[in-house]
Amino acid sequence: MTARSTYATSVATANTSATTSGISNLSIPTVDNQTTWSLQTAQAELAAGVITQKQYVAIVNAIAGWWQSQVQAAKDTLRSTGDVEIV
């Protein structure tokens, strides 16, 4: 696997986790015994009235921060190989 394909795989995995499969151990309080969150889960819980708008925003912000850190780590790894052409 090349450094570029490893980067692409890392970003794709982060995207899937953030949007559908979920992320555990986010820096948010447990809500309704839920410990794994995705954007899809958060939207469904908000629509069902299980979480408030404020909780939804906190969850989405935590997911966004997690996603940014994952993508940054992938970029840093790619740069360490000498590949500086990052989109």
pLDDT digits 0-9 by tens, 43-69: 999 999 999 999 999 999 999 999 999
Residue 86 lies in a domain: no
Residue 57 lies in a domain: yes
Residue 7 lies in a domain: yes
Give how many domains the chain has, as a whole number.
1
Q: Which long-range contacts (CB under 8 A, 24 or more apart) does 70-79 make?
A: 70/10, 70/11, 70/13, 70/14, 70/17, 71/10, 71/11, 71/14, 73/10, 74/6, 74/7, 74/10, 74/11, 74/14, 75/7, 77/3, 77/6, 77/7, 77/10, 78/3, 78/4, 78/6, 78/7
**Structural domain span for residue 50:** 3-22+35-80
Q: What is the pTM of this model?
A: 0.86
Residue 28 lies in a domain: no
Residue 30 lies in a domain: no
pLDDT of residue 80: 86
pLDDT of residue 16: 94
Residue 87 lies in a domain: no
pLDDT of residue 2: 81
- Mean pLDDT over residues 71-83, rounded? 86
